[in-house]
């Protein structure tokens, strides 16, 4: 037991005892002991040598370092590294601190561009001159009404002639850096972002991010409700269209974005095309819509129905490079210039609604001279002067506290010149026409409001066939029976709201046309909504003679004699005014007055173009045919009237009303009438000379009834 226990205990506690114990081992153990000893010595030796060498190298290294460290350049380098490290650590700590701070001590709010709140806050911030220093703008004319009361309008240089086009407004576009605002003692940072569509993954809507440097969420609440109140008090009710800004704004250039559908877009596009700015553009779109924006195909024989426009034409971004690019006057001068050129054209722009509450096509038509309108007495001058007085009387309206808008109701049988009158007046006043087809499918109170809110303040709003706006019980019944939608869902109250609301623009002229004034609700045509009512009657003797003279002008310098080489006259046109007047009198004597519209007479004269004698000789036959036609139609439509007797929406026509003589257009088919009238009337009647119809007799001033604005 001892032998066993002893070495163990020694082995653990005493090395020399182990040695002693190993002496009792056999001889192989002795050999291994010797090797072990040698190895031990070798290690000791090596260790002492390396310690010596290490100490030597350490000393050498330290002295080397001391030498390097005393070099001033290296010293500076070390200092720089230390400083950089401190700064970087500081930055990281700062960032983390800021994140922490923001997490706990600030309130953040994000506003999406397609939300109402975005419009409130943007309008309010505009009014706080937040983006006063901005150098990147969206230029808006049609939508400018939305921002006018609160937006920052740049002064338009006084360019003399054109006054009736809407003034553009300049809205600051999103910038890269956030803006700082102090509001009621609190700091806010505001960052605006454009929508991005180019990269599907990172696509986002335009946003406005507000960071409020306070923990108090009540302040954000206050801010948003203040913005909301401001918006409703100063702007239009319906928020503007969503912007489609695809380009990154630049901080160094003056940028202006013009949106398709906005009037300013037409100014600038037409100008850019006229100066061949798109000459080198290889990316083209072909369109039949913009008949005079763009350039026609160059191939010979092609008609004018298609145009080339620069592709991706939904926006035009103009970048102004200037030594003084920060001077925004450069931009407003440019816009004033393009606007002046545009309105100096001999055209009237007619904007057509696209359904779904969006303005779509714009058609430019030649101006129609007022003199080509055959109206009794001074009807046209009365309308024109009234409209001029109205446009010039803005201050009077404002002093009197009356909304600055005026409504004209043109009523009477189809084809008597209602739409043509609107077209001619628009040309005289240099106003654009916005046609709203109230009876069309897709129209409802909302789309109506949307359309009206996107018209400029100074324009002509044309509500065609206003009596067809509201679907009658018969329409509803028909729609129910056929499981289809009624044509239009516009309600009377919706229309009245739109006509009265703040969004129906200051300085706007509304023309409404109808074939059935007796179908209209008195509320719709009361003064204040329809201030002037003008009846358009079937043709009088003077008008019948007038339209004849327009068709058969005598041969004169503009209309040279057609005589062939043998000296034979090849044209049947008269040689003198007197001769034409004689034919016209004979013609009028054979046509019953107050029976046919000018459009009907015009239709007959087209069949005798160039031959006045034949026109006179054939007219009796035409009248007889018309009468027979009328009689057969009235026997059919008489039963229709009978069946409608009970229907409040379609009472029978008043006595003396010439309805049976007309083939009436269907409700909802009339939205292109103005365009049609402009084209065929402009082409044919447009040949009349100034003052040609001034001597039209049968003056009937009772046709124009004016009511005071209340
Ligand atoms: N008083 C007029 N003077 C000159 N042209 C006229 C007159 N009335 C009608 N016309 C001609 O008749 C055509 C139809 O006219 P317009 O469309 O203006 O009639 P309207 O009264 O608006 O008809 P509707 O009620 O069907 O809309 C046009 O080509 C126009 O030139």
Strand 433-436 and strand 169-172: the pairing is unpaired
Query: Of ligand 1's atoms, which has the minimum distance to the CA of residue 420?
Result: 18
Asked if the model's pLDDT at residue 453 lies above 70, the reply is: yes
Atom of ligand 1 nearest to the CA of 673: 17
% of the chain at pLDDT higher than 70: 56
Least confident stretch, 131-140, 180-189, 374-383: 131-140
Mutate to test the pocket of ligand 1, among 373, 413, 677, 700 (most ligand atoms within 8 A of CB): 677
Calculate how far, in angstroms, residue 245's C-alpha sits from the geometric centre of ligand 1.
Answer: 43
Average pLDDT over residues 596-602: 93
> Rounded mean pLDDT of 635-647?
47
Of 3-12, 270-279, 411-420, 491-500, which has the strongest mean pLDDT? 411-420
What is the ipTM, given to two decimal places? 0.98
Q: Tens digit of pLDDT for each residue in 53-69? A: 666 666 666 677 677 76
Q: If we measure between CA atoms, which residue out of 611, 604, 578 comes closest to residue 590?
A: 604
**Integer Cα distance of 558 and 67 in angstroms:** 107
Residue with tokens 């499981």: 483
For residue 547, how far is its CA from the centre of ligand 1 (angstroms)? 11
Long-range CB contact pairs, 271-277, < 8 A, 24+? 271/337, 271/338, 271/341, 271/342, 272/316, 273/309, 274/341
Higher pLDDT among residues 535 and 299, named by residue = 535
Question: Does the pLDDT of residue 680 top 70, yes or no?
Answer: no
Contact 529, 475 (CB under 8 A): no
User: What pLDDT is attached to residue 300?
Assistant: 52
pTM given for the model: 0.56
**Mean pLDDT value across residues 115-122:** 78
In the structure encoding, which two tokens stand for residue 112, read together?
């999406």
Please say if the pLDDT value at position 310 is more than 60: yes
Question: How many whole angstroms from 16 Cα to the centroid of ligand 1?
Answer: 134
Q: Ligand 1 mean position to 598 CA, how many Å?
A: 7
Nearest CA residue ID for atom 31, ligand 1: 681
143 vs 213, higher pLDDT: 213
CA atoms within 13 A on the CB side of 604: 24
The CATH homologous superfamily to which domain 346-538+701-706 belongs is P-loop containing nucleotide triphosphate hydrolases (3.40.50.300)
Instruction: Tell me the domain boundaries of the chain.
Output: 2-67, 104-257, 346-538+701-706, 541-626
Which stretch of 81-90, 165-174, 326-335, 479-488 has the lowest confidence by average pLDDT? 479-488
Distance 534 CA to ligand 1 centre (A): 14
Residue linked to tokens 């077209």: 423
Closest to 596 measured CA to CA, from 662, 643, 551, 530: 662
Q: How confident is the model at residue 446 (pLDDT cuts 50, 70, 90)?
A: confident
* Stretch among 345-359, 492-506, 658-672, 692-706 having the lowest mean pLDDT: 692-706
List residues bridging with 406 in a β-sheet.
509
pLDDT band with cut points at 50, 70 and 90 for residue 622: very high
How many Å lie between the centroid of ligand 1 and the Cα of residue 418? 6
* Nearest atom of ligand 1 to the alpha carbon of 539: 1
Atom of ligand 1 nearest to the CA of 670: 27
Q: How far apart are CA 308 and CA 623, in angstroms?
A: 48
pLDDT > 70? residue 240: no
Q: What is the pLDDT of residue 228?
A: 83
Whose CA is closest to atom 25 on ligand 1?
A: 414
Task: Strand 359-366: give its sheet, edge to edge.
Answer: 359-366, 347-353, 433-436, 460-463, 508-514, 405-412, 532-536, 704-706
pLDDT digits (tens, 9 = 90+) for 259-276: 766 777 778 887 887 777
680 CA closest ligand 1 atom index = 29
Q: Whose CA is nearest to atom 4 of ligand 1?
A: 373
Angle 322-324-327 (CA atoms, 0-180°, nearest 5)? 115
For residue 709, the model assigns a pLDDT of: 33
Q: How far is the CA of 627 from the centre of ligand 1 (A)?
A: 21
CB 177, CB 87: distance < 8 Å = no
Least confident stretch, 50-64, 407-421, 587-601, 684-698: 684-698
If you take atom 29 of ligand 1, which residue's CA is the nearest one?
A: 681
Whose CA is closest to atom 16 on ligand 1? Answer: 417
User: For 492-513, what is each residue's pLDDT tens digit?
Assistant: 888 888 887 755 557 789 999 9
CA angle 688, 694, 699 (to 5 degrees): 130
Statement: residue 34 has pLDDT above 70:
no
Ligand 1: distance of its center to the CA of 678 in Å? 9
692 alpha carbon to ligand 1 midpoint, in Å?
A: 18
| Ligand 1 geometric centre to CA of 677 (Å) | 6
Nearest CA to 287 out of 260, 264, 320, 324 is that of 260
Residue 650: which of 510, 478, 419 has the closest Cα? Answer: 478
Tokens linked to 691: 């003052």
Beta-bridge partners for 411: 514, 535
Q: Which residues form ligand 1's pocket by a CB distance below 6 Å?
A: 373-375, 414-420, 513, 515, 536, 598-599, 602, 665, 670, 673, 677, 680-681, 685
Handedness of CA 88, 92, 95, 98 (dihedral sign): negative
Please name the residue whose Cα sits nearest to atom 18 of ligand 1: 417
Most confident of 320-324, 567-571, 603-607: 603-607
pLDDT at res. 51: 65
How large is the average pLDDT for residues 214-223?
84
Average pLDDT, the chain: 70
Among 354, 301, 372, 343, CA closest to 141: 343
């Amino acid at each position: 037991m001892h032998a066993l226990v002893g070495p163990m205990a020694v082995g653990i506690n005493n090395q020399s005892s182990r040695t002693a114990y190993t002496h009792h081992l056999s001889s192989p153990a002795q050999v291994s002991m010797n090797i072990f000893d040698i190895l031990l010595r070798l290690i000791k030796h090596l260790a002492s040598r390396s310690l010596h060498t290490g100490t030597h190298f350490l000393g050498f290294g330290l002295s080397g370092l001391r030498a390097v460290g005393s070099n001033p350049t290296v010293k500076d380098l070390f200092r720089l590294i230390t400083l950089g490290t401190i700064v970087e650590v500081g930055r990281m700590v700062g960032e983390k601190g800021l994140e922490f701070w923001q997490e706990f001590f600030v309130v953040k709010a994000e506003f999406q561009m397609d939300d109402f709140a975005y419009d409130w806050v943007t309008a309010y911030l505009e009014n706080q001159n937040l983006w006063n220093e901005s150098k990147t703008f969206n230029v808006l004319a049609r939508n400018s009404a939305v921002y006018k009361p609160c937006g920052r309008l740049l002064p338009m240089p006084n360019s003399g002639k054109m006054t009736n086009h809407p003034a553009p407004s300049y809205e600051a576009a999103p910038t890269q850096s956030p803006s700082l605002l102090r509001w009621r003692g609190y700091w806010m940072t505001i960052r605006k972002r454009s929508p991005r569509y180019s990269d599907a993954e990172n696509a986002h809507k335009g946003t406005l991010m507000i960071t409020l440097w306070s923990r108090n969420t009540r302040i954000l609440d206050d801010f948003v409700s203040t913005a909301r109140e401001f918006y409703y008090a100063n702007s239009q009710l319906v928020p503007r269209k969503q912007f489609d800004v695809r380009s990154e704004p630049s901080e160094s250039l003056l940028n202006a974005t013009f949106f398709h559908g906005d009037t300013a877009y037409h100014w600038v596009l037409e100008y850019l095309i006229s100066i061949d700015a798109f000459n080198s553009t290889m990316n083209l779109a072909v369109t039949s819509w913009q008949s005079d924006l763009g350039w026609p195909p160059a191939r010979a024989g092609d008609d004018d129905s298609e145009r080339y426009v620069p592709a991706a034409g939904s926006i035009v971004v103009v970048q102004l490079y200037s030594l003084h690019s920060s001077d925004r006057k450069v931009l407003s001068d440019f816009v004033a210039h393009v606007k002046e050129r545009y309105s100096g054209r001999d055209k009237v722009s007619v904007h057509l609604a696209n359904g779904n509450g969006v303005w779509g096509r714009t058609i430019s038509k030649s101006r129609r001279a007022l003199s080509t309108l055959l109206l009794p007495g001074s009807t046209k001058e009365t309308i024109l002067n009234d409209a001029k007085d109205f446009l010039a009387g803005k201050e009077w309206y404002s002093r009197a506290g009356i909304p600055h808008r005026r409504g004209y109701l043109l009523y009477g049988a189809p084809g008597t010149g209602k739409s043509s009158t609107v077209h001619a007046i628009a040309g005289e006043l240099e106003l654009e026409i916005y046609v709203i087809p109230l009876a069309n499918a897709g129209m409802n109170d909302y789309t109506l409001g949307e359309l009206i809110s996107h018209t400029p303040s100074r324009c002509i709003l044309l509500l065609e066939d206003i009596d067809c706006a509201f679907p009658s019980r018969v329409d509803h019944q028909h729609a129910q029976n056929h499981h289809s939608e009624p044509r239009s869902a516009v309600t009377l109250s919706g229309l009245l709201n739109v006509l009265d609301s703040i969004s129906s623009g200051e300085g706007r002229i509304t023309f409404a046309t109808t074939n059935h004034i007796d179908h209209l609700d008195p509320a719709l045509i009361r003064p204040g909504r329809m201030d002037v009512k003008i009846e358009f009657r079937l043709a009088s003797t003077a008008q019948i003679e007038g339209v004849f003279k327009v068709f058969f002008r005598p041969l004169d310098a503009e209309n040279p004699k057609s005589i062939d080489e043998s000296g034979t006259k090849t044209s049947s046109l008269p040689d003198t005014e007197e001769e034409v007047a004689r034919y016209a009198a004979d013609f009028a004597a054979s046509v019953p007055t107050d029976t046919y519209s000018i459009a009907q007479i015009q239709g007959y004269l087209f069949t005798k173009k160039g031959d006045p004698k034949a026109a006179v000789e054939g007219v009796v036959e035409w009248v007889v045919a018309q009468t027979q036609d009328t009689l057969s139609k009235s026997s059919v439509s008489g039963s229709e009237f009978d069946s409608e007797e009970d229907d409040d929406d379609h009472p029978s026509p008043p006595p003396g009303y010439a309805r049976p003589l007309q083939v009436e257009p269907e409700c909802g088919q009339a939205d292109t009438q103005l365009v049609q009238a402009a084209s065929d009337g402009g082409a044919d009647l447009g040949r009349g000379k100034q003052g040609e119809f001034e001597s039209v007799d049968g003056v009937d001033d009772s046709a124009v009834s004016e009511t005071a604005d209340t």
